[in-house]
Amino acid sequence: MIKKLASVTWTFWSLIFLFGLLSLGVALTFIKPYSKSIRLISEQLPLDWLLKFHGNDGVVLVWFLLTCLIGGVLFINLLCCTGLRLVAVLKNKKMPRQWLFIVLHGMFAVVMLCHGLAMVMGCKHSNIRLWPGEHRAFEGGYAVALSHVEFKDQMDMLKADYQARRSLMTRKSFHPEKNYAFITFTQNEELIVSGAISMLNPLVTNGKRVTLTDFLYDEAKAAPVGISLVIVESPLTAVFFMSYIFLILSLTGFVIYTWKPSQ
Amino acid sequence: MCFSAFEILYHGIAGSFIISGTAALFQKKWAGLCFGFLATALSVFGVGLIILEAGRPPLFGHYEIITQSVFIISLLALLEQRSWHRHRLRFLSPVTTRLWLLCAFLMCVLYFFPKTVNADFYMYSRIAVMTFFNFRISAGAFFLVAAIHFYSGFFQGGTDLPPSAFLHKGRNFLLIGTICFLISECSGSYWCLIWWGDTWHWSKGFLKAASLFMLVMLSFHVPGKWKLPKAFHWVICCMPGMGSLWLLLMH
């Protein structure tokens, strides 16, 4: 049974199906209602999205579940294949080429596992829109408060739509370090972290990450510049990047070692 | 009519590749080599001019992507001709010829797009963002070079070398492309982390990249025991190149 699960035929068909499903996902993002539903998956933990699913969009739900299922099949295939090869290498010749091959597949398994676990572990709160003086509370006793915003560049770029901003927010006209917000992040009224936060410079503490995703503009408010935040708790981020780097290194070693065709 | 430095360079590179590709097609060795060298040298200037003008490596937009791609492809075309020369073969390598023709095709496609650098989005100053875009372009170029090697393994263009000579090189370039692609994806995940707070997003860009990666893995996992027509293997192995060409041109 394990031999069957470890076969390259399984790998091939899993990859074909996964390619088909991911391409279907790309196609769905071109259709507005589906694109909106797919975007919703990223605004929270995928497990929370699944549990709170209201049945408005069955197509995206089926597509998401099938993608996860085939991803899971590929992962089991990868584990079985790597395990069998490992046993074979331990019994027979201990060639560096074989070891690199196993490490490379092992690291890929860790990357896949991190992707999978990141969908069910931790928490994610997106699209938290705050203006100075406002605060927001979440499940688990978490709360975030915004004391004030410093925006020193031209405010016209904040009034533009998302696409136009790309050409307006150039290196010359927008300076992330000059534009920041002061926030306080608490759990059950106990301070977790507080300080200045700017674009691409999140506040990070004990696996919790507060990220400023955008500056907002609303003329109706007393202080017109606000912020949009994302709060994420993800315990596997460091493991994910470490295994990714080892995957690249082991693949590089494998390429160097097998550069010349074996006789 | 006033041409910018980018437009002048574009016409120089495009013209040189069209001449070198056509000359190589008719086995005019010296004309092919001279214009091949000229085109490669001009594409080095093209990449240099982008760096000088934008203060960063080529990252985004058709002009930047195609200029960097033809620079890598034409450099590898010359290296291929060098190894061909070592075998004392007097004619031009079919791989070199096809790589020059590919460059000529890419430059013809670029004719329909603005010949200028992309707007300098403020995030482009970050190393992670530069690495993400630049290595993605490099990965695409290596996948295309690999596809041409695989194609040449099955359609050898009059040479009597064994197909394995081309196929092993194709496999090597596919692997180098995969390394570049993984470096790009790893830095892209870091960019996503500092921008959106997470390493993965269920969005068009991420799904496109993941589909391309499936194609790359597919080409390494064709079951050996299957007795399939050679054309099937060729199509599977060329798919990452075709996929990246589509991604580079339709972004």
Interface predicted TM-score (ipTM) of this complex, two decimals: 0.93
Q: Same domain for A221 and A242?
A: no
Q: Same domain for A152 and A225?
A: yes
Select from B119, B168, B221 the Cβ nearest to the Cβ of A15.
B221
Pick the residue from chain B with its C-alpha nearest to A253: B179
Task: Give me chain B's average pLDDT, please.
Answer: 89
pLDDT tens figures, B57-88: 999 889 999 999 999 999 999 998 888 776 65
Higher pLDDT: A261 or B210? It is: B210
Gap from A149 CA to chain B (nearest CA, Å): 18
Compute the count of residue pairs across chains A and B with CB atoms less than 8 Å apart. 137
Q: Same domain for A175 and A247?
A: no
How is B79-146 classified by DSSP, letter by letter?
Answer: HHHHHHHHTT--SPPHHHHHHHHHHHHHHHHHTTS--SPPP-BGGGGSHHHHHHHHHHHHHHHHHHHH
pLDDT at position A93 is 67
Query: Over 90: is that where the pLDDT of B176 sits?
Result: yes
pLDDT at position B180 is 97
pLDDT at position A241 is 95
pLDDT at position B251 is 67
pLDDT at position B227 is 77
pLDDT at position B159 is 67
Q: Same domain for A90 and A179?
A: no
Q: Do B122 and A245 touch (CB under 8 A)?
A: no
CATH code, domain with A163: 2.60.98
pLDDT at position A71 is 96
Give the separation between CA B125 and CA B56, rounded to whole angstroms. Answer: 8
Gap from B18 CA to chain A (nearest CA, Å): 32
pLDDT at position B173 is 95
Residues A6/A119/A28/B222 CA torsion (nearest 10 deg): -20
- The model's confidence at residue B89, banded by pLDDT at 50, 70 and 90, is low
Q: Same domain for A84 and A128?
A: no
Q: Same domain for A77 and A204?
A: no
Q: Same domain for A63 and A154?
A: no
Domain residues for the domain of A228 are 123-233
Q: Same domain for A113 and A7?
A: yes
Mapping DSSP to helix (H, G, I), strand (E, B) and coil, where does residue A203 land? Answer: strand
Nearest to A31 by CA among A59, A72, A70, A6: A59
Give the separation between CA A105 and CA A87, rounded to whole angstroms. Answer: 14
Any domain includes A160 = yes
Q: Same domain for A137 and A190?
A: yes
pLDDT tens figures, A22-53: 999 999 999 988 888 898 898 889 999 888 87
Identify all chain A residues contacting B208, using CB atoms and an 8 Å cutoff: 26
Query: Over 80: is that where the pLDDT of A55 sits?
Result: no
pLDDT tens figures, A107-152: 999 999 999 999 999 889 998 999 999 999 988 888 999 999 999 9
Q: Which amino acid appears at position A192 of this protein?
A: I
Any domain includes A263 = no
Any domain includes A224 = yes
Q: Same domain for A117 and A72?
A: yes
- The model's confidence at residue B171, banded by pLDDT at 50, 70 and 90, is very high
pLDDT at position B92 is 83
Q: Percent of chain B beyond pLDDT 70? A: 94
- The model's confidence at residue B3, banded by pLDDT at 50, 70 and 90, is low
Check CB contact of A209 with chain B, cutoff 8 Å: yes
pLDDT tens figures, B133-160: 999 999 999 999 999 999 888 776 666 6
pLDDT tens figures, A194-223: 999 999 999 998 888 999 999 998 888 888
Q: Same domain for A151 and A218?
A: yes
Any domain includes A46 = yes
Identify all chain A residues contacting B195, using CB atoms and an 8 Å cutoff: 199-200, 211, 213
Q: Which helix (H) or strand (E) holds A228?
A: strand A225-233
Least-confidence region, from A75-84, A117-126, B106-115, B242-251: B242-251
Any domain includes A228 = yes
Domain count, chain A: 2
CB atoms within 10 A of CB B111: 10
Rounded to 5 degrees, what angle do the CA atoms A262, B221, A67 make? 155
Any domain includes A106 = yes
Q: Same domain for A109 and A152?
A: no
